[in-house]
Amino acid sequence: MIQMFSVSKTYPSQITAFSDFYLEVGAGEFVFITGPSGSGRSSLLRILFGAEKPSSGEVIVNGIRLTQPGFKKAYQVRKMMGIISPDFKLLKDCNVRENISFVLEVMGYPPKAIKEKVYQALILMGLQEREKDSILSLSAGEQQRVAIGRALVKDPALILADEPTSILDDEMTGRVMTIFSELQQKGTTIVFATQDTHLIQRYPHRTISLVAKREGGAEGNGEVRSEG
Ligand SMILES: Nc1ncnc2c1ncn2[C@@H]1O[C@H](COP(=O)(O)OP(=O)(O)O)[C@@H](O)[C@H]1O
Ligand SMILES: [Mg+2]
């Protein structure tokens, strides 16, 4: 599902998020990306959904080479992805239901299927009572749940989740982890960036640890397997 070969990312500010990074993720794998603040987790995910271009190296997602010269069709690759951003990227002028149904409307689903799928997503995230509420009237945790529901409603083959449970309580975090595990068992690939080492201990999966930047750029990024 994901192949990254010798990928480096240096921002115009000359900050290097990571360099010479290799990663392969098979279809149906669940992978944690962890590491301290500023170690490059979000940069890595943004490269995988084509919001950021690497400075060098090759990135292939679902057989599509995002790094081919002149590639401008990241939006097509994103169709098969459920993306959860740390800042949620919700439509502030729309209500909860509209934020979730919008994705399916863009994809051309028939109205009846949209109604059914959105209903299921609302139930899944415990938002059925809030469907007509505006995004701005929700707590941050509720907004995060909308963002997760919106990512899941399109049955993505790949979920790219950047700190998706950062402000959820233990019960809702457990619920999200159960949903993700069930999706993985059905073949969904999940890349989950988190700083939360307790979460990784509690739900052991293959874990990639990014190291904090040192002078001269990141070195020694590597893979550890969580126990259990
Ligand atoms: N848009 C950007 N412009 C310049 N530097 C950035 C940008 N985004 C991230 N960085 C820098 O790249 C490094 C990695 O950031 P990030 O990927 O957000 O790490 P993490 O998600 O692990 O906290 C940090 O030093 C950060 O300051
Ligand atoms: Mg981040």
- Ordered DSSP codes for 8-59: EEE-TTS-EEEEEEEEEE-TT-EEEEE-STTSSHHHHHHHHTTSS--SEEEE
* Residue where the block lists tokens 């502030």: 92
Q: What is the pLDDT of residues 182-199, one digit of tens each?
A: 999 999 999 999 999 999
Cα 80 to averaged position of ligand 2 atoms, centre (Å): 22
Residues bordering ligand 2, an ion, CB closer than 5 Å: 41-42
Strands 206-209 and 222-225: antiparallel
Cα 166 to averaged position of ligand 2 atoms, centre (Å): 11
Is the distance from the beta carbon of residue 11 to the nearest atom of ligand 1 less than 6 Å? yes
Q: What is the pLDDT of residues 94-121, one digit of tens each?
A: 999 999 999 999 999 999 999 999 999 9
Cα 67 to averaged position of ligand 1 atoms, centre (Å): 20
Q: What pLDDT, on a 0 to 100 scale, did the predictor assign at position 214?
A: 57
Is the distance from the beta carbon of residue 13 to the nearest atom of ligand 1 less than 6 Å? yes
Q: What pLDDT, on a 0 to 100 scale, did the predictor assign at position 131?
A: 97
Q: Given pLDDT bands bounded at 50, 70 and 90, which one contains residue 53?
A: very high
Residue nearest to atom 9 of ligand 1 (CA): 43
Residue nearest to atom 26 of ligand 1 (CA): 38
Q: Which atom of ligand 1 is nearest to the CA of 39?
A: 22
User: For the whole prediction, is pTM greater than 0.95?
Assistant: no
Q: What pLDDT, on a 0 to 100 scale, did the predictor assign at position 26?
A: 98
Ligand nearest to the CA of 166: 2
